């Protein structure tokens, strides 16, 4: 599984669609927000947690269709299905690779972009913590939906329609952690809910993704 993870990381870096595309989209969304809602610092600081989480969610969505589609097109996916590594391990490795190339850079860049939205000082550590805890769930949910739509024509649009409703709980609790942290309130409940979603996705979705891949490869 480690060899597959390293292979996917190398392919993502060579293709340039992991680090650069997601970060560029993240930056563009954050820069455009003040033009749409006005440059009042009080308004920007109030909506900053939600804007940063929405921007990170959409940026993570950009590269989801590449998780299994490229392997399906070049014939690597059927070979992976017949390899000694179970498909559950393949799905987990793909999700981890997507998080390393997309979720992790977004997590590290978010506090820097929070300055552009005049985010409150106490919110920065909670923004970093919530994204670090929540973005793995985005990658695993994306890997599951990518497995459902692999091999379909124009599957990217269908995958977006499947993914976005499933992202809503992670978005709600992630933004709530940052909002409460900015106000000095207790963040235990939304943080535990966010962690529960992530650990549940990591534990269960590789099996669901493997089942979807087996159906699509028949």
3-class SS string, 28-60: HHHHHHHHHHCCCHHHHHHHHHHHHHHHHHHHH
Domain count, the chain: 1
For the stretch 129-158, pLDDT in tens is: 999 999 999 999 999 998 888 877 766 678
**Domain containing 171: what range?**
2-216
DSSP state, 117?
A: G
- Range name among 9-23, 48-62, 154-168, 169-183 with the lowest pLDDT average: 9-23
What's the whole-model pTM score?
0.90
Other CB atoms closer than 10 Å to residue 104's CB: what's the count?
Answer: 18
Tokens of 192: 């535990």
For the stretch 181-194, pLDDT in tens is: 988 899 999 999 99
- Per-residue CA distances from 204 to 72, 92, 150, 171 (Å): 23, 10, 19, 19
């Amino acid at each position: 599984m480690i060899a597959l993870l390293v292979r996917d990381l190398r392919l993502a870096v060579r293709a340039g669609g992991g680090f650069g595309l997601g970060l560029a989209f993240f930056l563009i969304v954050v820069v455009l927000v003040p033009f749409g809602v006005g440059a009042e610092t009080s308004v920007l600081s109030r909506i900053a947690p939600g804007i940063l989480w929405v921007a990170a969610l959409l940026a993570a969505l950009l590269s989801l269709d590449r998780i299994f589609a490229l392997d399906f097109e070049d014939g690597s996916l059927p070979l992976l299905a017949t390899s000694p590594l179970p498909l559950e391990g393949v799905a987990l490795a793909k999700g981890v690779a997507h998080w390393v190339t997309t979720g992790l850079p977004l997590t590290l860049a978010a506090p820097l972009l929070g300055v552009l939205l005049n985010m409150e000082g106490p919110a920065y550590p909670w923004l970093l913590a919530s994204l670090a805890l929540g973005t793995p769930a985005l990658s695993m949910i994306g890997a599951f939906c990518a497995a459902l739509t692999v091999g379909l024509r124009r599957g990217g649009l269908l995958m977006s329609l499947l993914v976005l409703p499933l992202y809503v709980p992670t978005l709600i609790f992630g933004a709530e952690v940052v909002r409460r942290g900015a106000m000095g309130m207790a963040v235990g409940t939304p943080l535990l809910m966010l962690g529960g979603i992530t650990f549940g996705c990591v534990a269960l979705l590789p099996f669901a993704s493997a089942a979807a891949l087996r159906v699509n490869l028949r």
